[in-house]
Amino acid sequence: MILFKADYKKYSVSQLEMLRFKEEDFYRRYDHCVLLQTCNRVEVYFDPNFVNLENLKMDFKDFELIKGKDAIIHLLRLASGLESMIIGEDQILGQIKKSYYTAKKYGKTTKYLDTVFLKSIHTGQRARSETKINKGRVSIASAAIELLEKNVELKNKNILVVGAGEIGTLVGKVLIEKNIKAIFVANRTYERAERLAKKLGGMAVHFDKLKEALNFCDVIICATASPHKILDKDTLKDVKGEKIIVDIANPRDVDDNVRELPNVKLYTIDDLRLVSKENLEKRKKEIPIVEKIIEEEFSILQRKLEKLNFEHLIKDYRNYIENIRNRELKKALKMIRSGKDPEKIIVKFSEVFANRLLHDFIEAVYSNKVDKEVIKDMITLLKSKIQ
């Protein structure tokens, strides 16, 4: 496996934003790969059997390169929740599934990638069903609310959720457990805002009325999929009252310049690292158990990949033999058509075919490219088959 990785451990939110791809453009350019993009990571997995690593290095020079076993182990750990900002979070498993099936829809996966990704999904499922690694609040949305609770009393506060997509929905589900005074939902598509607001027992807000909603609410949680900033210093400069904003969108919804406003407190995904650290302490007892599951599943996966590699080897060997056979057969048929004795030609064809195979075999043995003990065992086995 070849992996080009950028995640929250070494990259800031703004750096990750710059490294993100437009999915359609990415798959138009690259083959034999899976692109995984989440709130806090951009990762590209390539099948090493079909790509040239040196050619890819320039394209992904800003990413960390991981190869072979380490890349596969990383994916298994990621699916199990061990590489997430919040240890054990469930959302990443769904994101891996979605990314894999998207790559498959574009026709970009291979038998190798299918095997590895399906095993990662199974490993993640085992980790969650057999351990307590995902017990309690673990999603980015939950972490955002947990962060808020450490800094403000949420009870009887007016909350505005900007964005009615997947993350916004998760945020809303956590909020309704918190005895919030009122929940408002704003979205560019008003119908989506209405649907989410109805589920939450809140009120939908037209996007062109966003400024009025900002004035009315105490806490704003931004979670849109917009490629552009939706809040900045100019938008908020006339908003009255103390405001707490949590920006968990990627790309970011809120410009950093809002920090210059004395009545605004801004939190981003980077701030969630503190929450992650505390959750890690709660879950660290489960980590060795999950790692044991990963070890077991990796051993099974290795055997599958070895079998797959052998199948590739057999296919290559069959093609090698077919190329020789076709070449010599064409010569033999040409000679027969020219009127030469077919029986002699067939005998000659079989001799040339056998000698060609033997010549290449002997050349490989004498060049020390093949283990001679393995060759002896193979010949002994073949002799027993003939007898």
The residues annotated with a catalytic role in the active site are 39
Alpha helices in the chain (DSSP H): 13-19, 23-29, 53-59, 68-79, 91-105, 111-130, 140-151, 166-175, 190-200, 210-216, 233-236, 272-283, 287-337, 342-366, 372-386
Cβ contact 223:253 at 8 Å: yes
Q: Binding residue per annotation — 183?
A: no
Task: Report the candidate in 159, 160, 85, 143 with the shortest Cα–Cα distance to residue 267.
Answer: 143
* DSSP character at residue 254: B
Q: Binding residue per annotation — 37?
A: no
DSSP annotation string for 91-119: HHHHHHHHHHHHHHHTT---HHHHHHHHH
Q: Max alpha carbon distance in the chain (Å)?
A: 103
Q: Binding residue per annotation — 362?
A: no
Contacts for 28 with CB less than 8 Å, ≥ 6 apart:
none
What is the spatial distance between Cα 185 and Cα 192, in angstroms, rounded to a whole number?
Answer: 9
Q: Binding residue per annotation — 91?
A: yes
What is the spatial distance between Cα 96 and Cα 68, in angstroms, rounded to a whole number?
Answer: 19
Cβ contact 216:198 at 8 Å: no
User: Length of the chain in residues, anyone?
Assistant: 387
Alpha helices in 43-139 (DSSP H): 53-59, 68-79, 91-105, 111-130
Q: Binding residue per annotation — 325?
A: no
Cβ contact 14:252 at 8 Å: yes
Q: Is the dihedral of CA 368, 374, 380, 386 positive or negative?
A: negative
Q: Binding residue per annotation — 38?
A: yes
Q: Binding residue per annotation — 39?
A: yes
Q: Binding residue per annotation — 168?
A: yes
Q: Binding residue per annotation — 197?
A: no
What is the spatial distance between Cα 62 and Cα 59, in angstroms, rounded to a whole number?
Answer: 8
Supply angle C-alpha 329, 332, 333, rounded to 5.
Answer: 85
Q: Binding residue per annotation — 95?
A: yes
Q: Is the dihedral of CA 16, 18, 24, 26 positive or negative?
A: negative
Q: List, as residue ranges, the binding site for NADP(+).
A: 163-168
Q: List, as residue ranges, the binding site.
A: 38-41, 84, 89-91, 95, 163-168
Q: List, as residue ranges, the binding site for substrate.
A: 38-41, 84, 89-91, 95
